[in-house]
Amino acid sequence: MHIKKQRLLTPGPTPLYPPALHAMMASDIHHRTEDFRKVYLACLAGMKEVMGTANDVLIFSASGTGAMDASVSNLFSKGDKAIVCVAGKFGERWADIAKAYGLDATVITVPYGQVVSPRQVEEALAKEPATKGVFVQASESSTGAAHDLRAMGQAVAKTGAIFVVDAITGLGTMPIDIDGWGIDVLVSGSQKAFMIPPGLAFMAIGPKAWKFADTATLPHYYFNLKKEKKSGDGGESSWTASISLILALGEALKYVQQIGMANLVENAQMLAKATRAAVQAMGLELFAPSSPGAAVTSVRPPAGMDSGVIVKEFRSRFGAVIANGQGSMKGELFRIAHIGYFDFPDLFAMLACLEIILNANGFPVKYGTGVAAAQEVYASAAVKPKSTAAA
């Protein structure tokens, strides 16, 4: 056995920003004190700023799925008509939540690797004018595809429905104009672009959605949007706050604000572009070639090779954890993540490791081929040394 560093290279949990991790050590404060309220208010304000929205922002002690649940249980009533876009495992989660709460959902399903088109949403809305909600993923991270939120949002805005977007892996990896594109509810999570451990969910909620909260009749208790808004205005969480994660978030937000959200998005997009170039140079195929997102790049293994072999050898040879396909996609793809705290050296290392693994398993790749393609993207993107401050 030699040195094998544990490298968390999955699309969530994502690599942790060390100063945020260290900030968790100051957790010996009480959540109903002025000290904590200051941090909590800064987190709410910071989230609002990086989300670039005038809408209200809420924080929950929950995983992202908790905020997805909350958006249904707080804003809809049993039997409400809904349109659910399903392009992968996370789309299926929206469908499951809609079913669990008894919504009358029209599910638009496309094959894994493809996306639901704005036109499909428009047609479904025209067919059912009473639709109350349209649910979609910004980035469907089980396949690596990204939806066209802008066009979908414009279609939904013309109707009485609200547009509910799971941007858990989309936020920070693609441009999202919450207010400009009519996104009434946007959901995200701490363990993605925010570089901290799982356990916090975020929601941006606008005026059209708030009106839904007044008439919705589905039962709920822990996830209570109105109560959470009121508590947040006072610098507190409704229930006991996840103190350590709020401290981590405060630190991570400072970093994201320092980088700038647009640059964080560009960072992911450049890494995704370099990854696509690299794996294609190695002779591999993308799983979602027509509308690839920048949260994660899904790659098909060589013909006849199970992607699990690649995932396992990343771990056993190099101590690196990368993601396999989920559900029925297991074995058919592996995923290279770019969301949050990833940089080019991470990618160069990962690609060099991938070349070794492919060669060792009977798929010949000239060493350095994929790395060189990524280096070219770095160089042609004119990534210049602007500052000597590393972070």
Binding residue for its own copies (CB under 8 A) from 127, 360, 362, 364? 360
User: Using CB under 8 A, which residues numbered 267 to 286 contact its own copies?
Assistant: 267, 270
CB 69 within 8 A of CB 94: no
User: Using CB under 8 A, which residues numbered 173 to 232 contact its own copies?
Assistant: none
Residue with Cβ nearer its own copies (328 or 388): 388
At residue 134's C-alpha, the angle toward residues 131 and 138, to 5°, is: 170
CB 24 within 8 A of CB 244: yes
Residue with Cβ nearer its own copies (229 or 254): 254
- Cβ-count burial of 259 within 10 angstroms (0-12 exposed, 13-18 middle, 19+ buried)? middle
Amino acid in position 137: Q
Applying CB under 8 A, the span of 1-9, 66-74, 162-170, 205-213 interacting with its own copies comes to 1-9
Q: Is 28 in the site for its own copies (CB under 8 A)?
A: no
Q: What share of the chain is helix, strand, coil (3-state, %, to 5)?
A: 45, 15, 40
- Number of helices (H), then strands (E), in the chain: 13, 15
Binding residue for its own copies (CB under 8 A) from 126, 257, 343, 362? 343
Site track 245-264 with its own copies (rule: CB under 8 A), x = hit:
-------------xxx--xx
Give the nearest distance from C-beta 383 to its own copies in angstroms.
7
- Cβ-count burial of 342 within 10 angstroms (0-12 exposed, 13-18 middle, 19+ buried)? buried
- The C-alpha atoms of residue 192 and residue 13 are separated, in whole angstroms, by 6
Site track 298-327 with its own copies (rule: CB under 8 A), x = hit:
--------------xx-xxxxxxx------
Site track 7-26 with its own copies (rule: CB under 8 A), x = hit:
x----------x------x-
**Tokens 């995200």 label which residue?**
188
Provide the binding-site residues for its own copies, judged by CB under 8 A. 1-7, 18, 25, 258-260, 263-264, 266-267, 270, 312-313, 315-321, 341-346, 348-350, 352-353, 355-356, 359-360, 366-369, 371-372, 374-376, 378-379, 383-391
